Amino acid sequence: MTEKERAELNEIFDKLVQLSDGLYANLGFQMLGEADVINCNDPEEQALFQEFQKIFDWIKILVPIILIVMGVFDFGKAVLASDEKAIKQAQGKFIKRIIIALIIFLLPTIIEILFNILRDNTNIKVNDPLCGVK
């Protein structure tokens, strides 16, 4: 990597840090000196994360139901049409929907991994970034 490329990457990283600082401020996180803190013991934040958990619990119930209903509908329509091309298209749609469902289910884990990477590489001090949302 040349010095010019390294300087460009550093400039991009600095811009990302500035954007994340603005995002934190917009989301209401407090900037405390050199460390950003999410306080899971704060009653307001506890209530917020409990609501997130309720919403995510509903999503974990509804996503598989919607996935099955849409899959049955697409495959049923394709089979009734007796069209091999339509069956292949329904199969492709179903696979894409399964991937999207997996991403939705893994979203808390993905966010936690990203926060762990940020914690290791910045001055963010957060042990449980989602305050128990799983």
Which whole number is the average pLDDT over 66-90? 92
Helices (H), 28-83: 43-81
Question: pTM for this one?
Answer: 0.62
Confidence at residue 35, expressed as pLDDT on a 0 to 100 scale: 45
Which whole number is the average pLDDT over 48-77? 91
Structure tokens at 54: 């309720």
Structure tokens at 49: 């994360």
* Burial class of residue 133, CB neighbours in 10 A (0-12, 13-18, 19+): buried
Greatest CA span in the chain, whole angstroms?
Answer: 66
Confidence at residue 67, expressed as pLDDT on a 0 to 100 scale: 94
Residue 69 one-letter amino acid: V
Q: CB within 8 A of 123, min separation 6: which ones?
A: 34, 35, 36
**Are the C-beta atoms of 29 and 38 separated by less than 8 Å?**
yes
Provide the Cα torsion 71, 76, 77, 79; round to 10°.
120
Interval 3-43: pLDDT, tens: 877 787 777 767 766 666 655 554 444 444 444 456 677 78
Among residues 42, 41, 22, which one has the least CA distance to residue 31? Answer: 22
Interval 96-106: pLDDT, tens: 999 999 999 89
Confidence at residue 34, expressed as pLDDT on a 0 to 100 scale: 44
Structure tokens at 86: 């339509």
